[in-house]
Structure 1
Amino acid sequence: MRFLAEFVMKSRSRAIGSAVVAAFIPVLSLLSGAILALVWLRMGRREGLLVLFWVSLPGFYYLFAQNSPDVLLSLLATALLAELLRRTQSWPQLLLSGVALAGMVAIGFQWLPNEIQDEFIRLLINEGGLVNYAELSSADQERLTVMMGLLLNGVITAVQLLLIYVSLFLARWWQATLYNPGGFQEEFHSLRMPLWYSGALLAALLMVSFGVQVLLPLLPVLVVPLLISGLSLVHGIVAIKQYNSFWLGMLYVLLLFALPYLSVLLVLIAMADSLMNFRHRLAPPPPPSHDGDGEA
């Protein structure tokens, strides 16, 4: 991965060409955003806008040819958040800004066409045996369908937001690797969401439980920063305690096989950390100062 960062930073044409090619290939679109963010963070807004102009062409192609706006929206959001990170150098502020953008998308935009969404929900309800198990009436099924549609839209938005964050983290890691070794590790290990954010998530959950369905698409989006904060906490504790990096590898392997359960655990740990600040509590005490105390 370092080789790719070195390659794209050697010239403007390499950066633009690599980003455009990656954007045209769905499985590599994450790299396209990372290249754009790397240029933006290192070279500034002018060079970043130039890369954004060219890399937006695949986004417009997918928008008009396949009615798929996700590539274009992801690139635009990546550029906005890269500019914010360049100005503020604050990951919590970046994560909060990303949630604000994604929240508006989750509420105001539907990712799947109605017929595809309805068919997908119908399969979940009928083929999954939910109707027989819960003995739902037709009215209950209709309400459940609406709720699942809102939640599904929020989940898709949350996945898109997570991929944008991954692109930005990758770009920042590239930048640190090439120009500031160790800088990204320090930033990531100290990432911690404020206490009020955990309270906002709990308040949203409470309001949804009382029937405020308009907030339902926001719940998956609100969870994403806490999931990242939980991963940051684990990385930070491993570094503080100098544990073997094997345990980090095991964590990500478990995420592949037990994502829903482990994600909930990471989110709960991050919420507790916003109150307790575990990294501060686990950090070794500073060495005693010898400023001449007791000397004649």
Structure 2
Amino acid sequence: MLGIANYSMKGPMQAIIAVVLFSALSVFLAPFGILVGAIIALVTLRISVTEGFKTLIWGVVSNVALTILISGNYFPAMISIIEYMLPIWLLAVVLRQTNSLALALQLAMVITGLSVVLFHMAVPNPVDWWVALFNQYVAPLFEASQIPFDAKLIPNLAEMVTMLIAIFMIILWFSILIIARWWQSELYNPGQFKIDFYQISLPKSTAYTAIVLAILGLVSGAEAGLVYDLSGIIIAGLMFQGIAIAHHTVATKELNKAWLVGLYILLFLFPQAMLILATIGLVDTWVDFRNRWENEEL
């Protein structure tokens, strides 16, 4: 992956070639979109906002053109642009201007939060909307493939769809930005990425928002659809702060890196572990674990 970054940084034309190639490949294999977003972010961070935007445009044009050529429909390309192009460029602009991963993460949370609010305004009952989509598109596929499913569980699962998509987008966007920042560090300033990542600390406003949403959730109960979805966004953001604390702790205490491997395995097998990391991130807003560990080492 670092070789891709190195090639992209040889000049604006190389970056455009790389983005066009991977953007075209992402039409067939979506994971290639991660490289598209990372290259756009790297160009923005290393060269300029303008050059990053030019790279973005080339990625958009190549993806849209090939998608329409193959399927005759531009909608999948719009999903791709939202998934790993335009938001990544915006996050990279903020990171370039502020040199703060935390503020870039906060922007991802704000964009996602506004999107969730607009979705709830446009769709009065999101659960029924997701169930209708399932019955129209997914259920017939299951039935044709003779895959058994419990129709009674679908409404319960539909309650989580909006929140899960919001969490996925934050994790995807910020992870792509992290890849770009790591590339930048490895190529031009070795060791800087570790320092930047260790310092991730969301503003106190995020913690206060989390508390308010928790209280509203308790008061509203089952009717708190919007509150429930927004809570997922806060959890995803604070999770990254918890991960930064974990990495900093392992480095400061000189612990075995197997602790981090175990942490990521736990997150993969039990996504509920996000809540534990988010809680650590929330408490850190006032406790400041990293500063405490550093003072103990002195």
TM-score range, shorter chain: 0.7 to 0.9
2:107 corresponding residue in structure 1: 97
1:290 corresponding residue in structure 2: none
What SS does structure 2 have at the residue aligned with 1:78? helix
1:42 corresponding residue in structure 2: 46
Q: Which amino acid aligns with 2:8?
A: V
Larger radius of gyration: 1
| Structure holding more helix per residue | 2
Q: Which amino acid aligns with 1:116?
A: L
Find the aligned partners of 1:212 and 1:32 in 2 and give their Cα distance. Answer: 37
Residue 46 to residue 129, structure 1, CA distance change in 2 (3 Å):
closer
What SS does structure 1 have at the residue aligned with 2:10? coil
Q: Map residues 150-161 of structure 1 onto 2, 5 A cutoff.
A: 151-161=160-170
CA contact (8 A) 1:155 1:221 kept: no
Residue 274 to residue 10, structure 1, CA distance change in 2 (3 Å):
same
Q: Which amino acid aligns with 2:283?
A: A
Is the counterpart of residue 184 in structure 1 residue 201 in structure 2?
no
What SS does structure 1 have at the residue aligned with 2:31? helix
Greater mean deviation of Cα atoms: 160-169 or 205-214: 205-214
What SS does structure 2 have at the residue aligned with 1:108? helix
2:263 corresponding residue in structure 1: 251
Q: Deviation per CA, 1:4-42: give whole Å up to 9, x if none.
A: 211111122321222223233201111110110000000
Find the aligned partners of 2:100 and 2:170 in 1 and give their Cα distance. Answer: 17
Find the aligned partners of 1:266 and 1:3 in 2 and give their Cα distance. Answer: 33
2:89 corresponding residue in structure 1: 79
Residue 115 to residue 57, structure 1, CA distance change in 2 (3 Å):
farther
Find the aligned partners of 2:113 and 2:62 in 1 and give their Cα distance. Answer: 25
1:32 corresponding residue in structure 2: 36
Find the aligned partners of 1:240 and 1:285 in 2 and give their Cα distance. Answer: 10
Q: Map residues 54-203 of structure 1 onto 2, 5 A cutoff.
A: 54-60=58-64, 65=73, 67-68=75-76, 69-74=78-83, 75-109=85-119, 115-117=132-134, 127=150, 145=155, 149=158, 151-203=160-212
CA contact (8 A) 2:163 2:229 kept: yes
Find the aligned partners of 1:236 and 1:278 in 2 and give their Cα distance. Answer: 9
Q: Deviation per CA, 1:30-60: give whole Å up to 9, x if none.
A: 1110110000000001211110110112553
TM-score for the superposition, normalised by structure 1: 0.81
Is the counterpart of residue 2 in structure 1 residue 6 in structure 2?
no
Note the C-alpha offset of 1:128: 7.6
Question: Size of the alignment, in residue pairs?
Answer: 269
Alpha-carbon RMSD: 2.7
What SS does structure 2 have at the residue aligned with 1:10? coil
Find the aligned partners of 2:37 and 2:63 in 1 and give their Cα distance. Answer: 11
Identity percentage of aligned residues: 25
Q: Which amino acid aligns with 2:100?
A: S
Residue 284 to residue 214, structure 1, CA distance change in 2 (3 Å):
closer
Q: Which amino acid aligns with 2:281?
A: A
TM-score for the superposition, normalised by structure 2: 0.80
Note the C-alpha offset of 1:252: 1.5
Structure 1 unmatched ranges of 5 or more: 131-143, 288-296
Is the counterpart of residue 218 in structure 1 residue 235 in structure 2?
no
2:146 corresponding residue in structure 1: none
2:145 corresponding residue in structure 1: none
What SS does structure 2 have at the residue aligned with 1:181? coil
CA contact (8 A) 1:23 1:71 kept: no
Q: Which amino acid aligns with 1:105?
A: S
Q: Which amino acid aligns with 1:158?
A: I
Q: Which amino acid aligns with 2:133?
A: I
